[in-house]
Amino acid sequence: MTLTSLAYRRLRIPKDAPFELRPSSPGKGWGGFATRLIKQGEQILKEEPLFVIPKPTQYITNEDLWAAFRRLTPADQGQFLLLRDNAKQPFMMSKEAFAENSFALPAKFGHGLFLVHSRFNHSCLPNATVPASSNDIITLVAIEDIMAGEEITFCYNNDFECKIRCERHKILRFVCNCKACLVGTPFQQLSDVRRRFIRGLIYLTAGAGIDGKSQDSSSSVIADHRLREAADNLSIPLSNRLIYLLLTLYLLEEEGLLDYLMRERFEPPVVVTSSLFQTESNAEIVKTAMAQKTWQGKMLIAFRLYGRHDAADESLPEMLRMLRMLRSA
């Protein structure tokens, strides 16, 4: 344990916090570890920013940061000066310190410096999350039960469920070694296939990538141009649409990413889509599929619908296009 990393011992942590800060596995500096069982959905940490810079990242300057630093109380300045580059040496530049320890605050179109949230390491298969906040206060929430002694991690980006290992590492600018990143393992190889597949399936059902944009032919994950055009025009038939949605949920589950927040995001479209069928024979299959207990079971039955036309197919694209227009208005 180096003297510099011991600086973290002096960080202000809530007295009743269910975690402690200590060294993590090699290369990961320090991290947050559960000191007792933390139940799924439990709030692990609620934190106010030390300061906020109300600017997009690319416009934040060292001068902005020094001005914010000077406005802090001496005690808060002391806390800022405890920050270390991955628990090693102090940061050379305040911009680096800010980049490593800040979170975007959508409500303010700016970024806040969070001393304690930033001590938690990343995983592409996390056990916690920091949901988007509507104000300056952010929270760390368990997305599964976390055992005492287990490292608490969250995913640093919000679209990693559809990014493969090398894409994730390019964005992170460090090499993560979680189960989905450990090269040479069958899980890792399957993980890349699953996440690329999830990206394509999201495109097919939403008619846009996770960034809300349509893809040009060079960057598209959908190789078949007719299929991509059908996705862009929101004219994927209802039967296929339901199969793609169920497949997405099944793959997320296989990947270990189907936590309660993912379910909140992906289950409603399945419920809505399954309620739209107008052709009686199709509606019967959907009913049987939806009665199955598992996503795999639902998907296997729903595959019987593949390629089947439904009376709702005539009006569906128009309805979806109107919804898209309303959302973007």
Q: Which two tokens stand for residue 5?
A: 């990393």
Going from the C-alpha of 268 to that of each of 56, 257, 262, 293, the distances in angstroms are: 33, 17, 11, 16
Asked if residue 174 binds ligand SAM (CB under 6 A), the reply is yes
Among 111, 114, 122, 316, binds ligand SAM (CB under 6 A): 122
Q: Tell me the residue type at 90.
A: P
When CB distances to ligand SAM are compared, the closest residue is 29
Nearer to ligand SAM, 121 or 191 (CB): 121
Residue 118 found at the interface with ligand SAM (CB under 6 A): yes
Helix (H, G, I), strand (E, B) or coil at 309: coil
Q: Could you say which residues in the range 30-59 bind ligand SAM, by CB under 6 A?
A: 30-31
Sign for the CA dihedral angle at 212, 277, 259, 327 comes to positive
Name the amino acid, one letter, at 23.
Answer: P
- Minimal distance, residue 259 CB to ligand SAM, in Å: 18
Choose the stretch contacting ligand SAM; rule: CB under 6 A; options: 45-53, 130-138, 174-182, 287-295: 174-182
Per-residue contact flags (x/-) with ligand SAM for residues 263 to 302, judged by CB under 6 A: ----------------------------------------
Amino acid at 91: F
CB of 144 to ligand SAM, least distance (A): 17
Q: Count H helices, E strands: the chain? A: 11, 10
The 10 Å Cβ neighbour count of residue 77 is 13
In the bound complex, what is the minimum distance in angstroms from residue 101's beta carbon to ligand SAM? 6
Give yes or no for residue 169 binding ligand SAM (CB under 6 A).
Answer: no
H, E, C per residue of 264-289: HHHHHHHHHHHCCCCCHHHHHHHHHH
Q: Which of 87, 128, 143, 285 binds ligand SAM (CB under 6 A)?
A: 87
Of 117-125, 130-138, 238-246, 261-269, the window that binds ligand SAM (rule: CB under 6 A) is: 117-125
Candidates 176, 247, 286, 289; binder of ligand SAM (CB under 6 A) is 176
How far is the C-alpha of 68 from the C-alpha of 235, rounded, in Å?
A: 51
Three-class DSSP category at 104:
strand
The residue ranges that bind ligand SAM (CB under 6 A) are: 27-31, 84, 86-87, 100, 118-119, 121-123, 174, 176-178
